[in-house]
Amino acid sequence: MLTYFCFSVYHGHMVKIKNPLFSLGARGIVGAITYVRRRRQNIAESVPFTPDQKTPSQLEWRHMYGKCALLWHSLSVIEKAEWNSLASSKHMTPQ
């Protein structure tokens, strides 16, 4: 009896079976491995890890973003509506 390892696509906490794992059509992430197709070749690679760079400049931007978020949440509904109307005239997405 021939057993197939199945390839699955991660959707939240459940997986959906798509193709056999070692088939020519394997795509997506299974555990810590990503299956992709580049330049007509199937590639199995580890999921890239990007470390959290804590440079002084990045920490300063994070701090300022946090301050802006706190200020936004402290605005009244009328003030938020005014800011959103100004943003829509400049083709910005309102919050």
Residue 43 confidence (pLDDT): 77
Selected residue with higher pLDDT from 26 and 39: 39
Residue 94 confidence (pLDDT): 59
- Please state the domain extents for the chain: 6-46, 56-89
The DSSP code sequence of 17-73 is EEEETTSTT--EEETTEEEEEETTEEEEEEPP-------HHHHHHHHHHHHHHHHHH
- Tens digits of residue pLDDT in 37-91: 788 777 778 877 788 888 999 999 999 999 999 999 999 999 999 988 888 888 8
Task: Retrieve residue 39's tokens.
Answer: 């330049």
Residue 8 confidence (pLDDT): 45
- Tens digits of residue pLDDT in 5-25: 444 444 444 445 555 555 667
User: What is the reported pTM?
Assistant: 0.45
